[in-house]
Amino acid sequence: RQDELKWNGWGYKDSVFHINKDDCVQYSGDRYSISGHEFPELRKWMVERCGVSLDDKTFSQNVPKAVDLPAIISNDAFVRDLSTTGVAVSMDAEDRLFRAHGHTLAELYDLRHGKFKRIPDIVAWPENHDHVVKIVQLASKHDVCIIPFGGGTTVSGALLCPENENRMILSLDTSEMDRILWVDPENFLAHVECGIIGQDLEQQLAEYGFCTGHEPDSMEFSSLGGWVATRSSGMKKNKYGNIEDMLIRVRMVTAKGTIEKSCQVPRMSTGPDIHHFILGSEGTLGVITEVTLKISPLPKCKRYGSIVFPKFENGVAFLKEIAAKRIAPASIRLLDNDQFQFGRNLRPPKTSIFARLADKLKTLYVVNFKGFDPNSLSLVTIVFEGTEEEVALQQKNIYAVASDHGGLNAGEESGKAGYMLTFSIAYLRDLGFDYSYMAESFETTLPWNKVIDACRNVKHVLLQKCKEHCVPCEPLATSRVTQVYDTGACVYFYFGFRYTGLEHPVEVYESIEQAARDEILACGGSLSHHHGVGKIRKQWLPQTVSTVGLQAVSAIKKELDPHNIFGCQNLFSKL
């Protein structure tokens, strides 16, 4: 996978948004439904809405050479003992750099224009649980720091090596631990190694007629172990649950031995649940090696849908009602007007005159006949799954509630396009970097009665702070609701600005996002819904879980890892 993926950006090397010779945005490769297509409206939107200057072309530095990377801190006795275990290792410069980072804006900017002060000194590829046990035992013996590495998609700074770490740092790459060890169709269980990538897990389970249904936006690249370590959530959580809902049993190797339950049952009443401190541990307590998951039969029917609402507020009220009635489909997302406009520009031109005519007629109906303002309407995209009968009932119920809130059925095509674009939209940030434009997303969970206020307030903070920092053009600040619950919802914010002329653009961005995060917490929101804490959000953890709560987590850390072998310094600083 390292050979297929970009070293300084998101995703596959052959999948890139670029300005072609005809001065049009085009998407290369053949992996996605939009691959090979041109997007004639996107260039105009980038220039007029985002303030991008296509004359302001910036270029990434080349892959750094070994002499340009931080020097290796070696523990020779550890390296010597490790070589006797049969575990593959490397101290190659590119192997070390590839595992030194995740995908925050700051990390990608440093890859393109800066450098890291500390990276792993050695990489190891265990092939099974027993290999991990040996590595952890040797690290404990020789006082070596371990940072587990799964898919590398973290957006919390979790993989960054602490600059003050003077011990040898080993990146424990779990990618060779990628097997489904067994499937139990009678009890709807699968036992899987931690390093398997989400997309591969679903493809292999499909051969048995099952799925997990867990589809985070990063599922092409993120690993099962990473899902557990960050308390992941997926796009279809309404039907299949979050990762904690499908977790039946987990094995985690710590500096003091392996933690695991004795049986694989749906529920136990045996005191505090050990899974609750493994979930979200973010590499601070040990290495997750194997996971038993609840699996589901593949759905016999899958359909897409979309609904247009006159305003974002109508869409929020609609989502709240379907959540209260417990009729939410597998996936349902609400886009604000800016995201709706962005989506309209991020689509290939219609090849058929009839398709183009149909689009014009739909627009005329929505805008002229129904009176929707194109500058305030919002869009919901939907995925229905189940039997034919279940899907038909879901559609009937959903569209009936939508009608009560002023919504109009916008068809299956828009819903499918919106869902599939999820997997390619992350590539756009790299195009922005090419033209001095930086963008990032961050998320939270909010009570229903705070969703609208928080969306408005956070956008106001983003715009105001950009003015204070003299950002040269009007920034893009948008929001969407991505997951719904009885008592609230997950809300994403997307934020970007042109950084031409700013001396320290990353510091400017971080200052603005910190202000936005303060506003989210002031509105009663969570620190994170599913991205985790890592290093970039840990300053807010005491006020989020209380000082006493954090002390309790720290006590578990001290007991399981008294010498801080798992010294990534996520969640809390060095103990």
Domain membership of residue 386 (yes or no) is no
Active site residue 437: no
Q: Which pLDDT belongs to residue 424?
A: 76
Q: Are residues 127 and 198 in the same domain?
A: no
90 is in an annotated binding site: no
Say yes or no to pLDDT of 367 above 80: no
How far apart, in whole angstroms, are the C-alpha atoms of residue 222 and residue 220? 6
How far apart, in whole angstroms, are the C-alpha atoms of residue 417 and residue 346? 10
Say yes or no to pLDDT of 358 above 80: no
Q: Which CB contacts under 8 angstroms, 24+ apart, belong to 12-16?
A: 15/424, 15/427, 16/427, 16/430, 16/431
347 is in an annotated binding site: no
DSSP 427: G
DSSP 366: I
Say yes or no to pLDDT of 352 above 50: no
Q: Domain holding 193: CATH number?
A: 3.30.465.10
The dihedrals phi and psi of 264, each to the nearest 5 degrees, come to -120, 80
Q: What is the mean pLDDT of residues 281-301?
A: 98
Q: 144, 173, 202 — which closes off a domain? A: 173
How far apart, in whole angstroms, are the C-alpha atoms of residue 198 and residue 201? 5
Domain membership of residue 477 (yes or no) is yes
Q: What is the mean pLDDT of residues 261-286?
A: 96
- Ramachandran bin of 195, using left for φ above 0, alpha for ψ from -120 to 50, beta for the remaining angles: alpha
- Contact criterion met (CB below 8 Å) for 190 and 180: yes
How far apart, in whole angstroms, are the C-alpha atoms of residue 556 and residue 541? 16
Q: What is the mean pLDDT of residues 1-20?
A: 95
Q: Are residues 461 and 530 in the same domain?
A: yes
How far apart, in whole angstroms, are the C-alpha atoms of residue 446 and residue 450? 6
86 is in an annotated binding site: no
Q: What is the mean pLDDT of residues 320-324?
A: 98
Domain membership of residue 487 (yes or no) is yes
DSSP 446: E
Q: Are residues 475 and 458 in the same domain?
A: yes
547 is in an annotated binding site: no
- The model's pTM is 0.95
Q: Domain holding 529: CATH number?
A: 3.30.300.330
Residue (of 157, 90, 151) closest to 122 by Cα position: 90
Q: What is the mean pLDDT of residues 403-420?
A: 89
Token pair, residue 322, equals 């379907």
Q: How high does pLDDT run on average in the chain?
A: 94
Residue (of 72, 67, 226) closest to 144 by Cα position: 72
Catalytic residue among 492, 494, 499, 509: 492
Say yes or no to pLDDT of 260 above 60: yes
111 is in an annotated binding site: no
- pLDDT tens by residue, 426-466: 899 999 999 999 999 999 999 999 999 999 999 999 999 99
Q: Could you give the percent of the chain with pLDDT greater than 70?
A: 96
Residue range(s) defining the domain that contains residue 251: 180-297
Q: Which pLDDT belongs to residue 420?
A: 72
Q: Which pLDDT belongs to residue 144?
A: 98
Token pair, residue 349, equals 């031109």
Domain membership of residue 325 (yes or no) is no
Q: Domain holding 147: CATH number?
A: 3.30.43.10
Q: 134, 154, 173 — which closes off a domain? A: 173
- Burial label for 89, CB within 10 Å (0-12, 13-18, 19+), is middle
Domain membership of residue 556 (yes or no) is no
Pairing of strands 247-254, 301-309: unpaired
How far apart, in whole angstroms, are the C-alpha atoms of residue 392 and residue 303? 10
287 is in an annotated binding site: yes
Q: Are residues 184 and 286 in the same domain?
A: yes
- Contact criterion met (CB below 8 Å) for 306 and 339: no
- Contact criterion met (CB below 8 Å) for 165 and 119: no
The H or E element spanning position 332 is: strand 331-335
Alpha helices (runs of H) in 290-437, residue ranges in sequence order: 312-324, 337-345, 353-364, 388-404, 412-421, 428-434
- Contact criterion met (CB below 8 Å) for 175 and 185: no
Q: Are residues 233 and 280 in the same domain?
A: yes
- Write down the number of H helices and E strands in the chain: 20, 21
How far apart, in whole angstroms, are the C-alpha atoms of residue 379 and residue 407? 9
Q: Which pLDDT belongs to residue 353?
A: 41
Domain membership of residue 74 (yes or no) is yes
> CB 172: neighbour CB atoms within 10 A?
26
500 is in an annotated binding site: no
Q: 297, 326, 349 — which closes off a domain? A: 297
Domain membership of residue 379 (yes or no) is no
Q: Are residues 460 and 533 in the same domain?
A: yes
- pLDDT tens by residue, 233-252: 999 999 999 999 999 999 99
Domain membership of residue 25 (yes or no) is no
Q: Are residues 96 and 164 in the same domain?
A: yes
Q: Are residues 186 and 223 in the same domain?
A: yes
Q: Are residues 230 and 167 in the same domain?
A: no
Q: Are residues 214 and 112 in the same domain?
A: no
Q: How many domains does the chain have?
A: 3
Q: Are residues 103 and 189 in the same domain?
A: no
Q: Are residues 274 and 189 in the same domain?
A: yes
Q: What is the mean pLDDT of residues 157-162?
A: 98
| Per-residue confidence band for 170, with pLDDT thresholds at 50, 70 and 90 | very high
Q: Which pLDDT belongs to residue 573?
A: 74
- pLDDT tens by residue, 175-207: 999 999 999 999 999 999 999 999 999 999 999
